[in-house]
Amino acid sequence: MKKITIAIDGHSSCGKSTMAKDLARQIGYIYIDSGAMYRCCTLFCMQQGLINADGSIQEEAFEQRMSEIHVSFRLNAETGRPDTYLNNICVEREIRTMEVSSHVSPVAALPFVRAAMTAQQQEMGREGGIVMDGRDIGTAVFPHAEMKVFVTASDEVRAQRRYDELQAKGEPCDFQQILENLRERDRIDSTRAVAPLRKADDALVLDNSNLTIDQQNAWLLEQFHKIAG
Ligand code: DC
């Protein structure tokens, strides 16, 4: 059976990654977390002192060093899920901190960052058989994907999920700060000039505010079978 391309886009912290990962595992496809790639670019900026104290980015210096950023994913045998590597160092934990979350949207809005990451993502998906989640996968990265899903959930539900996730990892977190951060990220992601977050015209919509993980996985698998046959 021909392997298709599956694009899952949507707002911050709406559970896209969880559903995309689970679907990929069930159907034997490769899963790529495109947000992790923008988080790696942000971590690189932080490590190299390219973010000023006021949060502004040293764009020229950053652009000159973009070619030093190599993101890859490797399966973690213990968790059964892929970990993110920045220049061959596992940064799975570092890229999920609140500090990275608070700088990632301005970094992801830079045209030279998007051009570099989009090219890498298209290369990863050249052969199909991929589930990629993000903000612009169905609109800009794979506009011809056979299956597109746009996921959303209420702001409060999304903030609670992120809060629970950070708590479980023992990361310091504050509900109000998380809520404000995700609203601000949605605003920047939806209003940027290049590849803004928006639903592709041909995407299926899923509001998972009141769905369990099992229910959303079942819905997604059903859509996959309808489309892939
Ligand atoms: O999905 P996430 O929260 O890990 O994504 C982190 C940030 O990266 C998010 O604020 C927007 C940006 N992003 C993007 O601009 N395009 C993508 N395809 C994926 C993520």
Per-residue pLDDT tens over the stretch 104-126: 999 999 999 999 999 999 999 99
Ligand 1 atom 8, closest CA: 35
CA dihedral of residues 145, 107, 35, 165 (deg, nearest 10): -150
Task: Tell me the residue range of the domain where 183 lies.
Answer: 5-228
CATH number reported for the structural domain that contains residue 153 in this entry: 3.40.50.300
- Summarize the confidence of residues 69-89 as an average pLDDT: 92
Inter-residue contact 148 to 132 (CB < 8 Å): no
How many domains is the chain partitioned into structurally?
1
- Nearest residue to 179 (alpha-carbon basis) of 152, 161, 207, 155: 155
Poorest-pLDDT segment among 7-11, 15-19, 217-221: 15-19
Atom of ligand 1 nearest to the CA of 121: 18
Q: Tell how far the Cα of 213 is from the centroid of ligand 1, in angstroms.
A: 21
Site to substitute for ligand 1 among 21, 131, 189, 197, most atoms within 8 A of C-beta: 189
* Rounded Cα distance, 47 and 45, in Å: 6
For residue 17, the CA-to-ligand 1 centroid distance in Å is: 11
Q: What is the DSSP letter of 67?
A: G
**To the nearest whole number, what is the mean pLDDT of the chain?**
94
For residues 7-18, give the mean pLDDT.
92
E strand map for the chain: 5-10, 30-33, 71-76, 81-86, 89-90, 130-134, 147-152, 204-207
> What's the rounded mean pLDDT across residues 209-223?
95
**What's the pTM value of the predicted model, to 2 decimals?**
0.92
Residue with tokens 């998906």: 125
